[in-house]
Homo-oligomer: A and B are copies of this chain.
């Protein structure tokens, strides 16, 4: 007996990644995969990696009735704004919804307005939606019907900063998060900035005057700190396909030393199956290279005693932990399954 699932927006990178991961999930069968552009085509027409998988499934046009009839779990891998049109209708039917867009991530409607430029039309749903970062919201996810899966840059940033922010070990008024991220983050649609000759070898800041993901980061860090927290947040496009590294730069509160920081990371992540603390071996700090293809988050930190500062690091695969994998982890929790079901396997090296 498997649970029937639907992927709405299945032809993009996030949609493809959901299909890849769900192909390995023992309790789920994907029965619908929608795509406006490729309706009627086999899955492998677009997702070359999936040749030999999903032989009996083709992309179809979205029909909400069909979704409701056939599925128990729905993943939305659609652009921001599109979920706003779909989620409210699906929510009423009682389906389990995992929305990978940004539409339901911010709890405060005013934050939504500031960052997305319009009033949120469903503030009640904002309230019901759970921010789907399992290590922070496991209990709420358990009972949720709507999970808003975090953004990739936000996920990395939160993981890097959470332990020391929660325990107020650092100056909360001067937090910097500098993110480096691969090209798949921008999606599968060709565009000038991601044209190979322009994107390869790039080390290129973007959205440097204010990236939307900072709203999620500030929301979560503020909640952890119990006070408003603002973050100087700048993402950089670097030369990789997958992977995101967040570097937290912070000043230590008087008296906090390396051992104290270590305890904070260990206290928060020591028992988490998908979080690995990097402290020794030939590689001393996290590098997304060694989590590619998986749901792992590698975290670590460094302290410079001389000037009382620290750097915190979190490395993820932006399409897995930053999107599809984190969604499936949340689904596992919602469905009462082991949280790691279908997700626990080692990354590649070299990758």
Contacts and interface: CB of A to CB of B under 8 A. Distances in A.
Interface of A: 13, 16, 20, 23-24, 42, 44-53, 174, 176, 178, 180, 182-184, 188-192, 194-206, 208-210, 230-232, 234, 236, 238-245, 247, 249, 251, 273, 276, 278, 280-293, 296, 298, 302-307, 309, 311, 313, 315, 345-351
Nearest to A184: B197
Nearest to A238: B238
A190 B195 contact: yes
Nearest to A305: B209
Contact of A188 (B197, B293, B302): B197
Contacts of A286: 205
Q: How many identical subunits does the complex contain?
A: 4
Given A209-B304, A351-B241, A345 B249 contact: no
A205 B49 contact: no
A51 B276 contact: yes
With a 10 A CB-CB cut-off, give which of A23, A302, A349 has the most chain B CB atoms.
A349
A311 B302 CA distance: 22
A204 B189 CA distance: 20
Contact of A180 (B196, B236, B244): B236
A285 B350 contact: no
A190 B191 contact: yes
Given A16-B349, A346-B20, A48 B197 contact: no
A45 to B, nearest CB: 4
B46 A174 contact: no
A202 B296 CA distance: 16
23 contacts: A16-B349, A45-B281, A46-B282, A48-B278, A49-B290, A49-B346, A178-B247, A184-B350, A190-B190, A190-B194, A190-B195, A194-B197, A197-B350, A201-B240, A205-B247, A205-B311, A205-B313, A206-B284, A232-B249, A234-B249, A238-B240, A293-B293, A345-B345
Given A232-B309, A303-B209, A48 B201 contact: no
Contacts of A231: 307
B349 A210 contact: no
Given A203-B180, A346-B53, A197 B285 contact: no
Given A51-B278, A290-B48, A243 B23 contact: no
B178 A348 contact: no
A232 B247 CA distance: 12
A234 B180 CA distance: 13
B232 A307 contact: yes
B45 A201 contact: no
Given A49-B346, A53-B346, A205-B247, 11 more contacts: A23-B346, A49-B347, A52-B276, A194-B196, A196-B196, A201-B240, A203-B238, A203-B245, A203-B288, A204-B283, A236-B245
